[in-house]
Amino acid sequence: MTTSLCPQPGIMDIALYQGGASSIDGQADPLKLSSNENPFGASSRAISAVAEAAAGLHRYPTTDHAGLRSAIADVHGLDPDRIICGVGSDEILTLLALAFAGQGDEVLYPEHGFSMYRIFALSAGATPVVAPETDRRVDVDKLIEKITPATRLIYLANPANPTGTALDMGEVTRLADAVPANCLLVLDGAYAEFFDGYDGGATLVEARENVVMTRTFSKLYGLGGLRVGWGYAAQHVIDVLNRVRGPFNLSSVALAGAQGAVRDRDFVDTCLQENAEQRVRLTGGLRQLGIACDESQANFVLARFANEPEALAADQHLKDAGILVRLVKGYGFPDALRITVGRAEDVSRVLEALASFKGVE
């Protein structure tokens, strides 16, 4: 059967996003360190809030997300009227492309940036533009060199995924200084909480009309299964995004869980402390085994091997030991594995398995 229906330009150039593996053939309960999830799960307050909200599943959720926006604003010291909530931060990032980029426009992002950035650009009909990185770090000068009169969005994940490296606020500000007034700098803060002393770009958003920051509840807060994120921007940007956002984009269960999670600061502090300690253990252990890795400011480490065959062999060895990590060839690192920082016992298992792989007693 033939059809004359054609998708919009750019759609068929999109390769399907590949998430981290979640199963190993023949193994019932593998240790999953492939998706940067919180190894401690969600907080008890979030789980209780979800259970309570489940009693009202026959009711539509609110359309203004006022309770969650207020909670986020209270915790982070922000203006609730300048906050928008979405189905993960992905939805906010998507809406930004659809609302502010189109045919003839360019969307700029770093070489090893989140693979969805290209998809966001193509979905909007815009042209994706890639700026080279230097030694697995975002190079602000290279980004600035790629800005043209057609640039409408610049996506910057900080800390970056899958490298875990991060720019300090001085470098982020230097980039913001170079962004023209008709272009938005979008600071993707999926891992911002793990970068000690970094506010995710909130101070820049407060000071400028063309900077947007996004956050997610899927990483630190352990709510990947609920899909909740948020953005913070100038009022005129939020107004535009709310015009294209679906009115019931977040369920009542998701809203309740996220509100409970963001207010449970004891749980957050415990998770951050554990992540920092185990990240040091994992990084140090990898280096002792002769496996290179940069200093990560996130909840994962990019382990670099001698070449692609060694990385593939290490991945298989870990699978044989019941451990799932992430191959990142699609991000430009065929010789590397991205390993989520787990609990103390998880890190021990990874290091023991890799010591066995390396033939170290």
**Cβ within 8 Å of residue 79, ≥6 positions away:** 73
Give the separation between CA 183 and CA 125, rounded to whole angstroms: 16
Query: Can you give the pLDDT at residue 2?
Result: 60
| Bridge partners (DSSP) listed for residue 44 | none
pLDDT for residue 29: 82
72-115 pLDDT, tens digit each: 999 999 999 999 999 999 999 999 999 999 999 999 999 999 98
Count of C-beta atoms within a 10 Å radius of residue 55: 9
- Check residue 24 and give its pLDDT: 72
Residue type at 77 in one-letter notation: G
Residue type, 137: R
Q: Please report the pLDDT score of residue 19 as a whole number.
A: 66
pTM of the model: 0.92
222 contacts 37 by C-beta, under 8 angstroms: yes
pLDDT recorded at residue 16 = 67
Q: What is the predicted pLDDT for the residue at 27? A: 73
The C-alpha atoms of residue 87 and residue 316 are separated, in whole angstroms, by: 34
Mean pLDDT split into 10-residue runs, the chain, 361 residues: 67 67 74 96 97 96 97 98 97 97 97 93 95 97 98 98 97 97 98 96 96 98 97 97 95 98 98 98 98 97 98 97 95 97 98 95 70
Of the chain, the percentage scoring pLDDT greater than 90 comes to 91
Contacts of 230 (CB under 8 A, 6+ apart): 68, 69, 72, 83, 84, 85, 86, 89, 92, 214, 215
Give the 3-state secondary structure of 226-263: CCCEEEECCHHHHHHHHHHCCCCCCCHHHHHHHHHHHH
Task: Give CA 260 to chain center in angstroms.
Answer: 21
Cα distances (angstroms) measured from residue 37 to each of 20, 73, 222, 270, 299:
10, 24, 6, 15, 8
